[in-house]
Structure 1
Amino acid sequence: MALKEPILKLLRKKYDPLSLVELTFQRYDLMFKTDEEGRPILLFMGKKDANGNIRGERYARRLKFDKEGRLIKDHWDQKGKATP
């Protein structure tokens, strides 16, 4: 499942650096880790189980910068199931 624009809009925001953020968006529970600049880089999307783990899909963000530090590429790759 590819990420849709409403979820991408949430993921473009900056959050606390090096933290784990939990949100609820429509029918999904979201949990993501941020990098040292506060950008989400690892996303777990699905439903939270009784143990607090997300059962659903896992995504990783690919960021590519040029030599001056400008962002060239920014996209999310689906990496499989979040919790087996």
Structure 2
Amino acid sequence: MALSKKIESYLGKIYSPDSRINERLLGKDITFITNEAGEPVTLFIGVRREDGAITGERYVRTIVRQPGSQKIMKSHWDLKGKVSRG
């Protein structure tokens, strides 16, 4: 499943570095983890259980930077599979 444009836009922002952020967006629970620059790099989307874990899907972001700088040339999210712990 591809991410919706609204979710991609939300994840295109900069957040607190090295953080775990829990939100609810478009009727889904999401948790994302940011890197040292505050860019979301790992996403869990689905339904949050009582213990805080998400049952759903996991995505990982690939970022290509301009050589010699931190400027992002391109990035994309890859679906890595289902997550469900029970």
Residue 32 of structure 1 is matched in structure 2 by 32
Residue 41 of structure 1 is matched in structure 2 by 41
Consecutive unaligned residues of structure 1, counting only runs of 5 or more, are none
- Where do residues 2-81 of structure 1 align in structure 2 (5 Å cutoff)? 2-69=2-69, 70-81=71-82
Q: Aligned partners of 1:38 and 1:19: how far apart in 2?
A: 8
Shift in Å at residue 26 of structure 1?
Answer: 2.1
SS of residue matched to 1:10: helix
Q: Aligned partners of 1:35 and 1:2: how far apart in 2?
A: 22
Percent sequence identity is: 38
Give the number of aligned pairs: 84
Q: Aligned partners of 1:75 and 1:83: how far apart in 2?
A: 23
* CA RMSD after TM alignment: 1.1
TM-score under structure 2 length normalisation: 0.90
TM-score under structure 1 length normalisation: 0.92
